[in-house]
Amino acid sequence: MIAALVVLAAYLIGSLSFAVIVSRGFGLPDPHDYGSGNPGATNVLRSGNKQAALLTLVGDLVKGYVAVALALWATAQWALPAWTVPASAIAVFVGHLYPVFFHFRGGKGVSTAAGIVFALQWPLGLVLLIVWLTLALGFKISSLAALTAAVLMPLGMYYRTGASMATYACVVIALLIFWRHRKNIAALVRGEERVIGKKS
């Protein structure tokens, strides 16, 4: 029962859509209504407000970290089943994608996935962050950087922990990232993908 409540709490934490929350706080348009329509930091940046975009990125990353860190603590505190942590990782990610508080219209989960990895294996999180920044700054295409990091995430987790439940959770998260980026992948193939920072 406690394990199920921890997983549910992770989903609810993930359902806090910081793109919408921060945009409302700054008096900006709903991120669903411009640019890519994705409630994420990259799209909020298209509003022209860099501070709002940064807060969105940090908020989405922190909620992924907090949900998994709480699951790790609860598992140690109450000797919960080993699946509690990977299930919570998937739950917070799904919460971001399909937030119950915002009509199940969520983002693509890249920042939240980063927070999850930092909580599970911070050295891997640091490596993936460097990869993302290098590609994002080099090519100015967020989706390309995100998809590359998504491929490396389960591979890196396997290198760190072997065929663990954390690795399988990362496989699920990576597949969901690709699913949520399917339109971006099509745009990349056509050479029409949006550039980071370009205003709507």
Ordered per-residue pLDDT tens for the chain, 200 residues = 899 999 999 999 999 999 999 999 999 998 998 888 888 888 898 888 899 999 999 999 999 999 999 999 999 999 999 999 999 999 999 999 999 999 999 999 999 999 999 999 999 999 999 999 999 888 888 899 999 999 999 999 999 999 999 999 999 999 999 999 999 999 999 988 877 756 55
pLDDT of residue 142: 86
**Count of beta carbons in the 10 Å neighbourhood of residue 6:** 23
Let me know if residue 199 belongs to a domain. Answer: no
CA distance 169 to 113: 11
CA distance 133 to 114: 12
Looking at the whole model, is its pTM more than 0.85?
Answer: yes
Let me know if residue 198 belongs to a domain. Answer: no
Let me know if residue 126 belongs to a domain. Answer: yes
Let me know if residue 53 belongs to a domain. Answer: yes
pLDDT of residue 75: 97
pLDDT of residue 55: 96
pLDDT of residue 195: 79
Range of the domain at 109: 2-190
Let me know if residue 178 belongs to a domain. Answer: yes
pLDDT of residue 48: 83
Let me know if residue 196 belongs to a domain. Answer: no
Burial class (CB in 10 A: 0-12, 13-18, 19+), 155: middle
Domain count of the fold of the chain: 1
Let me know if residue 91 belongs to a domain. Answer: yes
Let me know if residue 197 belongs to a domain. Answer: no
pLDDT of residue 197: 58
pLDDT of residue 157: 98
Q: Half-sphere exposure of 45 toward its Cβ, with a 13 Å CA cutoff? A: 13
